[in-house]
Structure 1
Amino acid sequence: MKRSIIGALGLVFATSTAYAGDIGVAISHSDSFLAVMVQGMKDEAAKTKQPLQIEFAEADINKQLSQVQNFIAAKVDAIIVNVVESSASPTITKMAADAGIPLVYVNNTPSDLDKLGPKAAFIGSNEAEAGTIETKEVCRVLKEQGKDKDAGILVIQGILAQHSAELRSKAVHDVIATPECNFIKIIDEQSANWDPVKAQDLMTNWITAGYKPLAVVANNDEMALGAINSMKAAGWDMKDIVVAGIDATKDAMHYMQSGDLDVSVFQDAIGQGAGSVEAAIKLAKDEKVESPIWIPFELVNPGNVDKYASKN
């Protein structure tokens, strides 16, 4: 997995591996993708015995702001934030800047991305790219199946206050507005807050309402799997529905190998986590960090799933 971060970042971090004091880490919520990202942070930090203080906000922005305040009060040497709500990033950026503490955003794009300044950075992936790759593949598969006339789909969104959900969802609309894919029609779209249980409940409600989509397009894999569980519980044959997610999580790869999930998009969780620690170390040492640093997404489908099954 180190290969992917080096491949994406070139030699940006190659000279910085020394101890940088305490680093506070504030993560937006708990899920399987973020668990892998945090493990990437821990593994990178362990290489140089770099201390990390890791806190989870469980999707509560006020809790996350308090965690950042506590890091500042503890005089940590750098802070890494996977922000709960992108709109809150200017507040966090100012808090860290006023305290003179370097700041690294990871994964969720801050709304003030272009105004971070030299003591802050962002490492992540272009979320619009993820939604575009996902939806174009759904379009291709539906066409291949001969379902290229008035194809109704359901869209399951993440936390709408996060740029990742906003951009992934917008990409769905942008792709189906193109001549190649305008046969696709959105029946309904609702948020399940990245949560598989909420996605399962949402899908159950849609089934109860009589919706019969040809595809379900989710902003992440966990919600896609929740929807699959609901459809299977209702006795639906998964061969009749195209289901798509994003992240290429380990569980999602198992579902794809079993024939239940049709599309995912690999997001380098370990690369993002490792890169955020490397950036925080450099900034804490008053070294320059290129920002933003974009790590590419990659399409995953049944044809290449085995390649990705062991990555996350």
Structure 2
Amino acid sequence: MKRYVYALAVATILSTPAMAAKIGVSMDKFDDNFLTVLRNGMSDYAKTVPGVSLQIEDAKDDVSKQLSQVQNFIANKVDAIIVNPVDTSATPAITKLAAEAGVPLVYVNRLPADLDQLGPKASAVVSDEKESGTYEAQQICKLLGGKGDILVIEGQLSNQAAVQRTKDVHEVIATPECSGIKIVAEQTANWDRTQGQNLMTNWLSKGMKFDAVVSNNDEMAIGAIQAMKAAGVDTKKAIVGGVDATQDALASMKAGDLKVTVFQNAAGQGKGAVDTALALASGKTVDKWVKIPFELVTPDNLDKYAKKN
């Protein structure tokens, strides 16, 4: 039976001795606030481990480019590969390449579609998205008193996190205490602040009535808030939620605009990915899924998270 236990995985990783290793890292894209924190977390941590170097590449949100980067890492004989997937449904091809070459592979931040098929030299360091959207939706339900109309802004539809976070929202409003909540519109803004702003502007121009906005991430939530401000909506009274607890999101919450976010430990995921890659490269056995917990953030506990991301 597979173990998906964070504590056990960490214990295994921390027992791994320092080793000289070159790790190839392919990121979905550099132009993303959360992924920048994740990337910097990996880079900063690797600098503290003697003999470890990272070669970090930008896939520019292109599946083919990411696959090519993985091929190049293998050709350059790296000791391990870390991938932040562009499209989680495309991970089987990456897994196959690494497995055939015998190179340890770690997926970070986004759960691969083929998690259950990963071999002994592969793992995923990913937070459980069942927590993220659930925490966000439950808190918004609480703020609404269990009833009202909501708008849902989705992330990239090919991405497992977006799919799961939206599913979480649907599951929460199906519970008895939140059954008075109705989704009046649901559309993607591809994790992007500008697209979130444009989508909200479009909804507002159509006269859409709503009591809260539930966004799959903070960037789109901030975009929605910007559109609401431009339209004269009082964002101090409005209810808008996101996920990630980025510094921009925490600043928005401090200003009284964003009411809910969920801390996703980008630096923790980055460190965990490097540790797991080193463990696999040294022949250690690690869990297939190393979970980094999510945490609910509200104005009441905001100060605790001000410098974490």
Q: Same fold (TM over 0.5)?
A: yes
Counterpart of 1:112, as a letter, is D
Question: After the TM superposition, which segments of 4 or more aligned residues of structure 1 sit over 3 Å from their partners?
Answer: 6-10
% identical equivalent positions: 55
**Counterpart residue number, 1:125:** 127
Partner SS, residue 23 of structure 1: strand
Deviation at 1:283, TM superposition (A): 1.0
**Does the 8 A contact of 2:63 with 2:87 survive in 1?**
yes
After the TM superposition, which of the residue ranges 13-22 and 111-120 deviates more from structure 2?
13-22
**Counterpart residue number, 2:244:** 247
**Counterpart residue number, 2:166:** 169
Summarize deviations over 1:166-195 as a string: whole Å, max 9, x none: 000000001011111011111111111111
Measured in 1, the distance between the counterparts of 2:258 and 2:266 equals 20
Q: Of 111, 114, 123, which residue of structure 2 is paired with 1:112?
A: 114
**Counterpart residue number, 1:27:** 27
The answer to whether structure 1 residue 297 and structure 2 residue 294 are counterparts is yes
Partner SS, residue 11 of structure 2: coil
Partner SS, residue 285 of structure 2: coil
The answer to whether structure 1 residue 140 and structure 2 residue 142 are counterparts is yes
Question: Under a length normalisation based on structure 1, what TM-score does the superposition of the two structures give?
Answer: 0.94
Deviation at 1:240, TM superposition (A): 3.2
Q: How many residues align?
A: 302
Q: Which runs of structure 2 are paired with 1:149-160 in the superposition (5 Å)? A: 149=147, 151-160=148-157
Q: Which runs of structure 2 are paired with 1:196-235 in the superposition (5 Å)? A: 196-235=193-232
The answer to whether structure 1 residue 267 and structure 2 residue 264 are counterparts is yes
**Does the 8 A contact of 1:71 with 1:79 survive in 2?**
yes
**Does the 8 A contact of 1:214 with 1:240 survive in 2?**
no
**Counterpart residue number, 2:45:** 44
**Does the 8 A contact of 2:9 with 2:287 survive in 1?**
no
Counterpart of 1:88, as a letter, is A
Measured in 1, the distance between the counterparts of 2:302 and 2:53 equals 35
Q: Of 262, 276, 279, which residue of structure 1 is paired with 2:276?
A: 279
Q: Do the aligned partners of residues 257 and 8 (structure 1) sit closer, same or farther apart at CA in structure 2, a change above 3 Å counting?
A: farther
**Counterpart residue number, 2:3:** none
Which stretches in structure 1 are left out of the alignment for 5+ residues? Answer: 1-5
Q: Do the aligned partners of residues 258 and 9 (structure 1) sit closer, same or farther apart at CA in structure 2, a change above 3 Å counting?
A: farther
Measured in 2, the distance between the counterparts of 1:8 and 1:167 equals 25
**Does the 8 A contact of 1:243 with 1:263 survive in 2?**
yes
Summarize deviations over 1:241-263 as a string: whole Å, max 9, x none: 21000011111000001100000
**Does the 8 A contact of 1:214 with 1:241 survive in 2?**
yes
Partner SS, residue 280 of structure 1: helix
**Does the 8 A contact of 2:24 with 2:81 survive in 1?**
yes
Question: Under a length normalisation based on structure 2, what TM-score does the superposition of the two structures give?
Answer: 0.95
Measured in 2, the distance between the counterparts of 1:109 and 1:298 equals 18
After the TM superposition, which of the residue ranges 110-119 and 59-68 deviates more from structure 2?
59-68
**Does the 8 A contact of 1:20 with 1:285 survive in 2?**
no
RMSD: 1.4
Q: Do the aligned partners of residues 7 and 31 (structure 1) sit closer, same or farther apart at CA in structure 2, a change above 3 Å counting?
A: farther
Counterpart of 1:185, as a letter, is K
Deviation at 1:7, TM superposition (A): 6.8
Measured in 1, the distance between the counterparts of 2:23 and 2:84 equals 14
**Counterpart residue number, 1:184:** 181
Which stretches in structure 2 are left out of the alignment for 5+ residues? Answer: 1-5
**Does the 8 A contact of 1:20 with 1:281 survive in 2?**
no
